[in-house]
Amino acid sequence: MRTLLGLNFHQIRLLSVICLSFICLISSQAEEDFGALEGINYSADFDDDCWAKVWFKNTGCTSAVIYRKDYGKWIYYTKLKQNENWAVTSWKGTEWGISDGQSIKKKWHVSSCYTQTVEIDFGGCHDYSYSCQTRVTFKNHNCKKLQIYWDNDGQHVHFKDLDVHGNWTVTTRKGHKWLIKDGHTIKKRWTVSSCSDNKVTLDFGGCSYVHSECQTKVVFKNHHCKDLKIYWNNNGHHVHYKTLAANSYWSISTKKGYEWIIKEGNTIKKRWVVNSCEEQSITLKFGSCYNDHATCDSKIIFKNDHCAKLSIFRKDNGHYVHHKDISPGYLWSTHTQKGHDWIIKEGHTVKKQHHVTTCSDHTVKLDFGGCHDYQSSSCIT
């Protein structure tokens, strides 16, 4: 029997088998070639059909560059600065690479379908060129001069001698370490912890009187109605400096940290510590006075026209307190009050008593005669 193209049935059947075998061979070879393309093993790279959220956190002091591996090549995605975070949705099995800008330092695979975090820290915190700039002001509220050093990886670099009550501002960087010294003793270590401007107050207390640096002037004003005694507290030893008459004042150069004690007789009326390097005025007034009913202030001048030295005393609570020795030809003035009693002595002899009866300024002339002034004699022998 003849059919199409003059081929019988058996010939057509044989030709069909040959063609079908050839098509299957070509299909199989194409599948192998496609599976081997670029050497990718899809079943190895993507085990499960899921996505995951991945956080990259740069906790180091240098920048980090993020890449994703795609068909054997690293594809750039983003760059993270210091303390910067970045999130991305990624297929499970994807490989990521983190570079320091020069080479891939870390490789990481997405290992699950859950949210994951990749912390990046390439160090470099000793290299401050990577950190932010800021300004720091050091304020010396201590009573001694202080020295400021920068800690350069263990080497102490001297920057500034900071005077008492002085301020100093320096441009620095986050991560810089600073040392404050008192002589060779480290009093404080401080590290710049932010990029904002900072103020560092330095006050370590415990300043001794001897080593206090700043000097100042203090004026004591006695507005009390009695004489007051002023002492310096020298480490527990009270050193008498001045007996200050009522309504008079006295100034002295002192130092920050010194303690002064004001007494009425043997009773301490006030303790005061110099707390500043500025000049100060201390008013002393302790309320009503006993046995002294003075009502107004005045100035009194004692003028020694006598030929011998005279001693001036004032009555205070029944006792006469010595105030001044006046040489012949000299005078002395002080403040007094109406009702005050004064006596003038030559040696141990009371030569005069004077009771203040006025509120006006007045002069008390002292001349008791009886002096043998041979130099004033008009005759020459």
User: d(Cα 214, Cα 146) in Å, to the nearest integer?
Assistant: 13
Q: Does one domain contain both 304 and 346?
A: yes
Asked if residue 56 is part of any domain, the answer here is yes
User: d(Cα 242, Cα 232) in Å, to the nearest integer?
Assistant: 10
What is the per-residue pLDDT for 210? 45
pLDDT by residue (tens digit) across 279-311?
889 999 887 664 444 457 788 999 999 899 999
Asked if residue 249 is part of any domain, the answer here is yes
What is the per-residue pLDDT for 368? 87
Mean pLDDT of the chain: 80
Return the CATH number at 50.
Answer: 2.60.40.780
- Asked if residues 192 and 174 have their Cβ atoms less than 8 Å apart, the reply is yes
Q: pTM for this structure?
A: 0.29
Among 120, 145, 176, the domain-final residue is 120
What is the per-residue pLDDT for 358? 83
The single-letter code of the amino acid at 32 is E
pLDDT by residue (tens digit) across 140-187?
887 778 999 999 888 899 999 998 778 999 999 888 999 999 888 999
Q: Does one domain contain both 135 and 115?
A: no
What is the per-residue pLDDT for 287? 73
Distances (CA, A) of 175 to 84, 163, 178, 191, 336: 17, 26, 10, 6, 66
Q: Does one domain contain both 193 and 225?
A: no
Range of the domain at 159: 131-202
SS3 208: coil
For every residue of 221-253, DSSP letters joined together read EE-SSS-EEEEEEETTEEEEEEEE-TT-EEEEE
pLDDT by residue (tens digit) across 311-342?
999 988 778 889 999 999 999 999 888 888 99
Asked if residue 10 is part of any domain, the answer here is no
Asked if residue 341 is part of any domain, the answer here is yes
User: d(Cα 87, Cα 317) in Å, to the nearest integer?
Assistant: 89
Among 260, 284, 308, the domain-final residue is 284
**Count of structural domains within the chain:** 4
Asked if residue 346 is part of any domain, the answer here is yes
What is the per-residue pLDDT for 365? 92
User: d(Cα 336, Cα 247) in Å, to the nearest integer?
Assistant: 7
Q: Give 10-residue mean pLDDT values along the chain (381 residues).
A: 57 67 56 43 50 86 87 92 86 92 89 90 59 87 86 89 88 91 91 88 65 77 89 86 90 87 91 87 77 66 92 86 92 88 92 88 88 46 29
Asked if residue 219 is part of any domain, the answer here is yes
